[in-house]
Each structure stands twice: as structure tokens, then as C-alpha cells.
Structure 1
Amino acid sequence: MNSTQLDLVPYIRSASNAIRKPFLLGERTLLDYAILYVQEGTMRVTLTREKKVYTITSGQFCMLQPGDLHILEGTTDTISPYVHMDLFYNPHRERSFVTLPGQIQLAGQEELMQPRISELEGFQQVPPLFAPKNKTAFVETMLALIEAWDDGACGLHNRMKAHGAALQLIFQLLEPYVEEERAPNKSHSLLGWVTSYFALHISEPLRVADMAKRANLSVPRFNVVFRETFGVSPYHYFLTLRLKHAKELLRTSMLTMHEIADYCGFTDNHHFANTFKRTTGVTPGQYRAGMNESE
């Protein structure tokens, strides 16, 4: 899969809070990404090929990437929230799976394996023990994902909330490892939480007053700072992001127009269809049909 053709479309396979006595999981090779947070206790990860051993203690994070041959061990009683998911769209993703201990050679499954972060342009290598820029926000997003997902036994609305949180989790994970250097921007730092806010409230009405309060600014001052940071008003910024998410769902899911309109925060199908056509020049149905014809 060419890095220039990668679409960031998370696909959750398993997510839960693992509460375990000391344990040992035998060697396995991953097809997807495994992200875990050691909330309590101590764990050890052995990367067999690299002959490296990492000890993960309370409050630390670990990410295992596709192709990692590893052994996972709990050396004490542990509480460790975890998520198994694809980060990038793969048309064969529904055939993929979370590998089990003992599954080492995955011959014939190559088309199911996700790309590694090192294959992406503009990103540094993410170490197995990674450090999110905002630990509290990362934990909150991860736990929100797990609560909504409940290992897939939830309804459609909660699954959509879980995948929205997954997208934000990836952003928070990768943000510290972007290679491009950017000039300090005080306004951007002040509103650095905006993308997270939208991802977690995508289906809800936009309330500028709520965001201004969160930024400790008056509404007029918030609007000024927002425009300085993002170049547009809050309304137009969030509308653009809602439409971007709608396009992604039209491309990659079989959700109905009503479900997409509801998930992306439009008041109804009519509002969604009119806004989409006014912005893109085609209706949501025409956009989906065009994508299918191009495949």
C-alpha cells in the first residue's frame, strides 16, 4: 500500500479494560495496531526480532505495530485498557483479525497487514513506549473509546462515537512525532484542543459560548482568536470538518443518509443534502455513486 494513497480511517477490532492476574501471552505477530495503557501494575513487552525488552509501569503507554513479533507479559496484577485497530483504510479489512499467541507466520495474509508508521511521510518513528503530548487528554479519549465500544456489542450510535474517538486518539498519538518544524503560535497553542473538541462533539450542536468559556475568553475575543488561528470563523471551520467526515462515511461505509446526517451534526436529511450540494456541487447520493464508479 503506497504511503501517498493512505486514508486515515480507523477500524476498531477489539477494545476493553483488561483486569488480569500475572500472565504470559506467547509469541505472536500483529496484523493491526495494539495500543495499551498500564493503569495499574507492571507489564513487560519483548520484541523478539529486535531482541529488546520494555518494562511498562503504571501511567505508561505502549504501541505495538503491524509485523511486530512480540511476547506480552504481566509481571504483577494489572489493569490495562487496550485497543486493537487498523489505522488506515484497507478494502479487505473485514477479513482481518486480532492474532492470537502462537500465530507467528502469517503467509497468505499480507494484504491484510497494516502499513507501519515508518512508511508515512512526515513522521518520525514512534517508539514502543510512546509519550502523548497531553497524557490526560489521551487517557480520557482512550477510555471514552472503550466505553462506547464495549467490544463491539454496542449499537450503531455508540460504534460511531467509538470510531470518532479512535480518529482523535490517532491524532493525539502521532502529534508529537510530526517531523515538520512549525513556528510557535500563541493563538494555536491557546486553541490546540479545538480538533479534539470537534471529534468528541461532532454530532452535537455547535455552541461558540461553550468553547469561549473553555478557552477563558469572551465570545467576541474567542471569535477573533479563532479566525487568527484557523483563518475562518468557528461556524465555517466546523462545517468544513462535518462535511469532511460526511465524505469519509459516504466513501467507506454503508450508512444511510439519515445516519450520516445525524452523526455529522446536521439537523436533518434536507439540511445535510442542501449543505453538501451547495458546497460540493453534487448531492450526497451522487457523491457516493461517483466514488463507487471510480473503484
Structure 2
Amino acid sequence: MSTKPPEWVEGPWSVQLHSVNRSPYVKLHMENRSFPNWIISYVKTGHVTTGTGGETHTAKAGDVMLHPPGLPFSEHADVGGVHLWMQVSILCSHQFDLLMLYRVSPVITLPEPARYEAVFAKLLAEWGNRELSFRDLKITTSMLQLTEMILTGWEKAGNPERSSAYSSSGDRFARLIGQMSMRLEERLTREELASLVCLSANYMDRAFQQQFGLTPMQMLRDMRLKRAKQLLEMSEETLETIAARCGFTDASYLCKQFKKEYGVLPGEYRESVRYKQTENVYG
């Protein structure tokens, strides 16, 4: 299955890198291994069969394997090889797991493997030098570069989605968030959101808030306001049109919610942004 990736995934971006290494092997026999974070493993040399939930894939030199958190996986190889791998969490706005929101396929062929290897070598050196100035910033920069290359490879392949065999507990709410973001203009109710994940509304609220710090309806409001803010910055659309596109009943209600969140009315915000966008910095 292929689908266009959602355009609503946005920063700020953060990386939580837990381990990074270069691992040569003569033969490989891993069964039912699982980790609390994503394992991203690049095949530098070798040929690997990997599987999760009864589904198997092959990975050759220049491919990346992605193993979701908490899901047992296997890797097998009868000949030697080298893997460049890391255990990592890559987060975007609201601390969403990027690779949960983008349902990236389990094996991806990279368009520029030499570039990936060069950036990985830099990341490995940064990880190993705890005295390095601005170490966290450099690690985050390198990791985001690698992530961009992985997503580019996925896009070039047509954005094939991983199957249900690779679904973990985190996927349930990732799919819900995806549905919310793609249906901002609709009048979604709490009960409708709960039905999308086959939960009672009360249980959904508790479980979602435990994971994200706010309820689905609160997050939906935040998404709508952020989208309205973007449209005010980037378009000439009227407040009525923006309100409709972002799921607010009318321009008046948008103004009320926008002022409550950002401290200014939408029109005032647009005017201030336009002034700053056209101002001559050195004038």
C-alpha cells in the first residue's frame, strides 16, 4: 500500500539517541529481540532477512531496516556483514513519534548510501566524545540529516506503508492523530474520535492524556489554532474561510479561541506578521 505522507507533521524537532554503533559479524542469528525505542539499522555490507509478526523482508547493502519499539523482530544472515545502527526516538510537535506518524516501510533503499555512511560516521564520533562542544546540538543535527535521507528513500519508493504486522501500541493513537489532522475542517465529536480507536470516550481521554499530557479534543483544538495561524501568515484568505478550513463554527468563534491562546486577535496577528515580513531589517 502506498500513500502520500501527511504534510501536517511539523517541528519543533527533537532527538533522543540512546545508542549508536558499528557492528561487524560473521553470521547473524537474532530471534525475538525487542527494544523500548526504534532500532534503525543500515546494512553497510551483507544480505539480511528480517521479520516481525510472521512477515519477512530482505535487506541488502545500502538498505535501512526499521524495527518499531516494543515489537519482537528477527535478523538472519549466513554470510558476514557490517551494520551501522542506533536506538533512537525522533519526535516532532506535541512530542509525537515521527516514525509512528509516518508509517514508513520496514526496509528502505537509500538513494545516497555514501552520504548516509559519511553522516553516520560523524554521528558516531559525536556520540563517543562526551567533551565535544555543543554535543547535543551536533548529535541532533546529524540524526535529523539521517532521518531526512531515510524519508527521502521512502518517498522515492512511493511511500509504501508498513503492514499491521508492524503495528505497536503507539500506532493506535498515531493513527488517531493522523485522522484528526486530516479532518480539521470537520465537526468531530469526542465520541467520534473514540470510535476511530474502538475505545470508550472516557478510557480514550485517560490513556491519551497519560501519553500526551492533554485529551484528544484539546489536541484537536491546538491543531486547529496552529493551522489557522499558518493560514494567517501564508494566505490572503478571509477569517470566515480560515475558520471553516480549521473546523471553527464561524469567524467570531475563531477570534475568541485565537485571542485566548495567543493573546491577540487573528487580524492583529496577521497585520503584525505582514509588517515584519516586509520590513527592511537594515532600513
Larger Rg: 2
* TM-score, normalised via structure 1 length: 0.43
